[in-house]
Amino acid sequence: MCATVAGDPLCAVCETAFFDAGVHRCRSCAQRLGPAAGDLCGRCLRAPPAFDGSITLADYAAPVDGLVVALKFGHRLEIASSLGRLLGTAIARRAPPSAAIVAVPLAFERQRERGFNQTLEIARVAARVAARPLLTEVLLRTRHRPAQEGLPLDERRRNVRGAFAVPAAAEGAVAGRNLIVIDDVMTSGSTLDEVARTLKRAGAAQVVNAIVARTP
């Protein structure tokens, strides 16, 4: 990224060059598809996930992956503002006006180490740009699990099983609601699938993901 705009690591040229409006993707998991493909990838046709759709800004590849890494591990919080602005614009264009936003929570141990939840920082800006309410107390991560990176698909699913909960006091805010779940990166979709299952068990009507980047 050129970092030519004061206070913003993304200029208009970089946004156009690296964020892929118009790329044909699976409407369920946002995996990139060929131009002649249908609306769903083969995996989602064979085993539909618990979530109802996904919005993404780009593939998780250079230089977008560098932005995500710099935000998470370099404490570059101004990047959350830029990514949240782009994601909020996409949500305003494509998600139901009645939908509320939920950020995927970090485990307490990981948030204490990092000092912040990068997904929540992105969600704060996205909610403001999209003019959607942000629900910050409706989804908890109940236990610390090993990082998903490098795990096979079956192990990823087992790793996140039962990892989230909706507190009883928050069920009224979830029941019957259309929800947009924000995360920074989707790889296998296992985490977001478990989040959607958890929210739907609490009565959510629809769960759509809004993610910064999708691993090809």
Instruction: Give the count of beta carbons closer than 10 Å to the beta carbon of residue 32.
Output: 16
The mean predicted confidence, pLDDT, of the chain is 90
Which one, of 191, 199, 197, 195, lies nearest residue 215 by Cα?
191
- Name the residue among 93, 101, 95, 53 with its Cα closest to residue 214: 53
Q: What is the mean pLDDT of residues 41-48?
A: 96
- DSSP tag of 32: B
Q: Which of 158, 87, 101 is nearest to 129 (CA)?
A: 87
pTM given for the model: 0.90
* Cα atoms found within 13 Å of the Cα of residue 86, Cβ hemisphere only: 25
Go through the domains of the chain in sequence order and give each one's CATH number.
23-214 (3.40.50.2020)
Please state the rounded mean pLDDT for residues 173-192: 96
pLDDT at position 147: 59
Share of the chain above pLDDT 70, in %: 88
Instruction: Dig out the tokens for 96 from the structure.
Output: 């139901």
Place of tokens 């998470």: 72
Q: For residue 4, what pLDDT band results from cuts at 50, 70 and 90?
A: very low
